Chains A and B, each alone.
Chain A
Amino acid sequence: MSRDLSILVVEADPQKARDIIDALMEAGWSDVHALAQTAGLEREIKAREPDIVLIDVANPDRDMLEHLSLASDSKSRAVAMFVDKTDDDLTQAALAAGVSAYVVDGLQMNRIKSVLETAIARFQLLRQMQSELDAAKRALEDRKTLDRAKGILMRQRGVSEDEAYQLLRKTAMDQGRKVIDVAQALVTAADLLA
């Protein structure tokens, strides 16, 4: 598991913050910072761009944190939270519902490692799924552009669909470009001339 993630711990109680940092360090994460004053939360997040923010589930600043994640592409950051008592049902429900990380018993440091590892694995899985989804969306868009370009050629040059595609492919090869780029150029030009 990757240990180069940057983690920001938001915790007002200095003793608790130290315990959490020690546990994280011991588990192999070295890029860990603590923040006691929530007033500086916004500035700190902008400056450090942490991969993970750990914050107590009862901390009223969570709403502010959520706003910040929304403003800065929430999909790129996992949000993990602490509660003070162990509640495995809640952990399971949270993980099942898609929260990157939810419950770490603030007083049982031995559990931090396993919960965070689960959380990070899950977070990376989600990020991967997101990029796969983005790729699928792009493929669909490309498909549409290609179909429009073929349609334009078929109408303008009176060729079959297959011939239209071959023409696009040949042009792309001759010019050392991608088929989709040629198709896009054709669609743009046709829109301009229409």
Chain B
Amino acid sequence: MTQTVLNCGYVPLVDCAPLIVAKELGFAAEEGLSLNLVAQPSWSATRDMLALGHLDVAHMLSPMPIAMSLGYGGLPGEIDALMVLSVNGTVFGISTQLADGLRAASVGPAFGEVGDMLQNIAGLGTTRLRIGVPFHYSMHRLLLEYWLQGQGDLDGLEIEIVTIPPPRMADAVADGHIDAFWVGEPWGSAAVARGAAELVLPGTAVWGFAPEKVLAARHDWVETRSDDARRLIRALYQAMRWLDAARNKPLAVEILARSEHLNIAPELIDPAISGALTPVQGASPVSVEQFLLFHKHAAHFPWRSQAAWIAARLGAGAEGIARAKQCFRADIYRDVLGPTGADLPGASEKVEGSMRHATAVASTRGHMILGPDAFFDGRTFDFTPKT
């Protein structure tokens, strides 16, 4: 059988796992697809190559298709998100030097419990805190800014957010260019492993269920290559289901570590896949609930309300939010996966942040468990049109 070749861009991070697994374990081949995985040097390059047609699809930061469709940033384009490729998986860390300073003042950070950490940092006499994020249009920056807004009076501490390519985050914090970072795995664990930083917060502490990466494609490509798009969605669904099964995780780490597509040591892949992070060099790993999800709780479903939250945080008005919802193609997802027997949520929008605990909701096959998706400050976001 001849296979259709799809040029698929990705940035070498642990959360590109669905693409690698779909290729290596033959899920793509079963759908008649041959995935040509093309590593990208930066998010800007990924965006340009997708917009200009050199890539058919790409592993992208969830805010990117929305930013592009709304005309923000370098290169505009009508880009759709066909499914969410991963939920959560990011960490906030501070330099070892800063953590030592806090400990000396008896206000050392405890992983997951930051309390008044920023005020304590200001109390050390620090006037400026430089925080690295991977890209301007990233969930990392949106979560960081959302969290910062809820931190009250910072006693004059000035926060500066700078963009640093993730593979260089550890170097940047080691040589004092930045004091803290918000980054995706393996780069948080990599900074800890070389003693440059300590992790203080998993992304889940700010938003329990944040869409992190999406499968992005040009809107016109999705129309003209509808059949290929559908086959890819089915293949990735199988790959993500495989990835989230507990019994497959050790093998998943092995496959990713051996893959020519990721040049990352197994000990740096394991924390994200197993959800057990080592916050401080030499400490015991801490298990983080739903640290990185691929399949559980319908992680791959492209909720239109997630798109709306992103658009609102990017500063879009009602019109932009409505446009953003159209980018997250819940319609195609339902159309493709419904007939395969996959369980689908009853609605395509939810009130983001309303589930403090895992909750059973109506689905096409009865009930499915969603969430928790709470925000750290307990806020909820309802983007359904008011009637």
Determine whether the beta carbon of B45 is less than 8 Å from that of A70: no
Q: Which residues of A contact B136 (CB under 8 A)?
A: 63, 66-67, 70
Question: 8 Å CB contacts to B: which residues of A45-74?
Answer: 57-70, 74
Query: Pick the contact of A63 from B51, B77, B135 — CB < 8 Å?
Result: B135
Question: 8 Å CB contacts to A: which residues of B129-182?
Answer: 134-136, 162-165, 167-168, 177
Q: Which residues of A contact B177 (CB under 8 A)?
A: 39
Bound-complex Cα distance A61 to B51 (A): 20
Query: Pick the contact of B165 from A57, A64, A93, A97 — CB < 8 Å?
Result: A64
Determine whether the beta carbon of B43 is less than 8 Å from that of A63: yes
Determine whether the beta carbon of B41 is less than 8 Å from that of A58: yes
Instruction: List the B residue with the shortest CB-CB distance to A70.
Output: B136
How far does the Cβ of A45 sit from chain B's closest Cβ, in whole Å?
Answer: 13
Given A66-B73, A98-B76: A93 and B53 interface contact (C-beta under 8 Å)? yes
Q: Which residues of A contact B77 (CB under 8 A)?
A: 97
The answer, yes or no, to whether A17 is at the interface (CB within 8 Å) is no
The answer, yes or no, to whether B286 is at the interface (CB within 8 Å) is no
Bound-complex Cα distance A130 to B101 (A): 49
Determine whether the beta carbon of B52 is less than 8 Å from that of A90: yes
Bound-complex Cα distance A65 to B283 (A): 36
Bound-complex Cα distance A42 to B161 (A): 13
How far does the Cβ of B176 sit from chain A's closest Cβ, in whole Å?
Answer: 11
The answer, yes or no, to whether B42 is at the interface (CB within 8 Å) is yes
Determine whether the beta carbon of B51 is less than 8 Å from that of A97: yes
Determine whether the beta carbon of A97 is less than 8 Å from that of B52: yes
Bound-complex Cα distance A97 to B53 (A): 11
How far does the Cβ of A93 sit from chain B's closest Cβ, in whole Å?
Answer: 4
How far does the Cβ of A169 sit from chain B's closest Cβ, in whole Å?
Answer: 36
Bound-complex Cα distance A124 to B42 (A): 27
Q: Among B52, B73, B162, which residue has the most Cβ atoms of chain A within 10 A?
A: B52
Query: Pick the contact of A94 from B52, B73, B164 — CB < 8 Å?
Result: B52
Determine whether the beta carbon of B41 is less than 8 Å from that of A60: yes
Contact with A along B31-56 (1 / 0, CB 8 A): 00000000001111100100111100
> Which secondary structure characterizes the binding site on chain A?
helix
Instruction: List the B residue with the shortest CB-CB distance to A79.
Output: B74
Contact with A along B59-94 (1 / 0, CB 8 A): 000000000000001111100000000000000000
Q: Among A61, A66, A90, A93, which residue has the most Cβ atoms of chain B within 10 A?
A: A66
Determine whether the beta carbon of A67 is less than 8 Å from that of B74: no
> Which secondary structure characterizes the binding site on chain B?
loop
The answer, yes or no, to whether A99 is at the interface (CB within 8 Å) is yes
Query: Pick the contact of A99 from B75, B134, B162, B163 — CB < 8 Å?
Result: B75
Instruction: List the A residue with the shortest CB-CB distance to B165.
Output: A60
Determine whether the beta carbon of B48 is less than 8 Å from that of A63: no
Determine whether the beta carbon of B163 is less than 8 Å from that of A59: no
Q: Which residues of B contact A61 (CB under 8 A)?
A: 42, 165
How far does the Cβ of B352 sit from chain A's closest Cβ, in whole Å?
Answer: 26
Determine whether the beta carbon of B42 is less than 8 Å from that of A90: no
Q: Which residues of A contact B73 (CB under 8 A)?
A: 66, 70, 74
How far does the Cβ of A8 sit from chain B's closest Cβ, in whole Å?
Answer: 17
Query: Pick the contact of A67 from B48, B52, B163, B168 — CB < 8 Å?
Result: B163
Determine whether the beta carbon of B75 is less than 8 Å from that of A64: no
Instruction: List the B residue with the shortest CB-CB distance to A57.
Output: B45
Query: Pick the contact of A66 from B51, B53, B163 — CB < 8 Å?
Result: B163
Query: Pick the contact of A59 from B42, B43, B135 — CB < 8 Å?
Result: B42
Bound-complex Cα distance A36 to B45 (A): 20
How far does the Cβ of A127 sit from chain B's closest Cβ, in whole Å?
Answer: 16
Instruction: List the A residue with the shortest CB-CB distance to B72.
Output: A70
Instruction: List the A residue with the shortest CB-CB distance to B43.
Output: A63
Q: Which residues of B contact A66 (CB under 8 A)?
A: 44, 73-74, 135-136, 163
Bound-complex Cα distance A93 to B52 (A): 6
Instruction: List the B residue with the shortest CB-CB distance to A71.
Output: B136
Determine whether the beta carbon of A62 is less than 8 Å from that of B45: yes
Bound-complex Cα distance A123 to B272 (A): 43
Determine whether the beta carbon of B163 is less than 8 Å from that of A64: yes
Q: Which residues of A contact B51 (CB under 8 A)?
A: 97
How far does the Cβ of B117 sit from chain A's closest Cβ, in whole Å?
Answer: 25
Given A63-B134, A67-B162: A98 and B75 interface contact (C-beta under 8 Å)? yes
Determine whether the beta carbon of B163 is less than 8 Å from that of A63: yes
Q: Which residues of A contact B45 (CB under 8 A)?
A: 57-58, 62
Bound-complex Cα distance A94 to B49 (A): 9
Q: Which residues of A contact B76 (CB under 8 A)?
A: 98
Bound-complex Cα distance A8 to B30 (A): 49
Bound-complex Cα distance A57 to B41 (A): 8
Bound-complex Cα distance A26 to B48 (A): 30
Name the 6 nearest CB pairs between A and B, nearest first. Answer: A67-B163, A60-B165, A93-B52, A62-B44, A62-B42, A58-B41
- A42-B162, A66-B74 given; 17 more Cβ-contact pairs under 8 Å: A58-B41, A59-B41, A60-B167, A62-B45, A63-B42, A63-B44, A63-B134, A63-B136, A64-B162, A64-B165, A67-B136, A70-B73, A70-B136, A93-B52, A93-B53, A98-B76, A102-B48
Can you spell out 7 A-B residue pairs with CB atoms less than 8 angstroms apart?
A58-B41, A63-B135, A64-B165, A65-B44, A70-B136, A94-B52, A97-B77
